Amino acid sequence: MKVLITGASGLVGSNLIRHLLDSGITVRALLDPGLDTPTLDGLPFERVPGDVLDPESILGGLAGAHAVFHCALVTELRPPRSRAARARNVDGTRNLLVGMSRSGVENLVHVGSASSFGPGTMDEPGTEETPFDPRAFRFTCFDSIRQAQELVLRYNQSGKVRCVIVNPTLVMGEYGLPCGPGTDIMEYSSIGRYTSGGANVVGAADVARGILKALGRGKAGRCYILGGSNVEYRDLYGMIATSMGFPPPMRLSGDRAVIARGLLGSLYGRITGRVPARNAPAARLAVAPIYYTQRRAALELELPMSPLDAVVEGACRWMTDNRDSR
């Protein structure tokens, strides 16, 4: 069996490609020829030069493939509004779907995000049925990932492609690049303060296993939240600090102060044209409870769930060992 994977150099893609290879699957990865891919060094896969924004290169990657894993969506939160992120997430997904229709490749596992659904509380976490609110945070990546998901569902409904959608929560683990929400949280945990919000954290290796199981077990046109443990930032930052060898954060940053700093950061960005370290949407996200349940994926995909401390320790070890090389 031969599969095509997009976004193979990212955190999820780098773990998925290893899991595919370990399962005896022949892997072809669509990669920009100028892209540095240190997380893929030494792996026995076929590298196809191309990009999801280049329809012709997609056709070359699809030739002879039996299935596609689409992991190339942009999830970075800075800057909060980005035309480039929208183009890659929406137009890139459309290009892939059109290419699959033209090539006769039917099976797609689309790797979206749990942000496409509304989050919940610790007692009542968000599910695949919780409505998405585009006004909640106003990130281009959230909005455009949701739009890409809707596009995939329309293609599935039309019968052009058989699609299963998986929606990871906050992913942490080995083989990550120095960007993305998980890395941001690991860096923030060193400043001695924590925010009042929380998140659902899932291990990258567990996500990779869930994605592969979605190909065989997932129902066409169905979404599956790939999640792990719901945890308050106070506890998550403390675990990261302990693993990284610095004191755990002891002071709570008040919600009003966090929001104020975010607003000032956004104002600075508009005035200077630079990407600020803080912004208003990220501030709102930092003080919000972003909790989900993976119940559907656990039942239908047999999604594994590694202990949170093991996930955090593995991510911190990878970050420490590879900080200089990255």
For 36-72, give the DSSP string. --GGGTT---EEEE--TT-HHHHHHHHTT-SEEEE--
- Give the Cα-Cα-Cα angle 151, 153, 157 (nearest 5 degrees): 120
For 191-244, give the DSSP string. GSEE-S-EEEEEEHHHHHHHHHHHHHHPPTT-EEEE--EEEEHHHHHHHHHHHH
- Please give the average per-residue pLDDT across 301-317, as a whole number: 93
- For residue 289, give both structure tokens: 């409870």
pTM over 0.85: yes
Domain boundaries, the chain: 2-173+201-227+291-305
Residues whose CB falls within 8 Å of the CB of residue 172, separated by 6 or more in sequence, listed in order? 182, 186, 201, 202, 203, 204, 311, 312, 314, 315
pLDDT in tens, 230-282: 999 999 988 988 888 887 777 788 888 877 887 787 777 778 878 767 777 77
| Superfamily, domain 2-173+201-227+291-305 | NAD(P)-binding Rossmann-like Domain (3.40.50.720)
pLDDT at residue 157, rounded to an integer: 96
Inter-residue contact 118 to 132 (CB < 8 Å): yes
pLDDT at residue 185, rounded to an integer: 62
pLDDT exceeds cutoff 60 at 22: yes
pLDDT in tens, 184-236: 565 555 566 788 899 999 999 999 999 999 999 999 999 999 999 999 999 99
pLDDT exceeds cutoff 50 at 326: no
Give the ranges where the chain is alpha helix by DSSP (H).
11-22, 55-62, 83-86, 92-103, 140-158, 181-188, 204-217, 233-244, 255-272, 280-286, 295-300, 308-322
pLDDT in tens, 74-125: 887 666 567 888 899 999 999 999 999 999 999 999 999 999 999 999 999 9
Give the length of the chain: 326
- Percent of the chain past pLDDT 90, that is, above it, reads 63
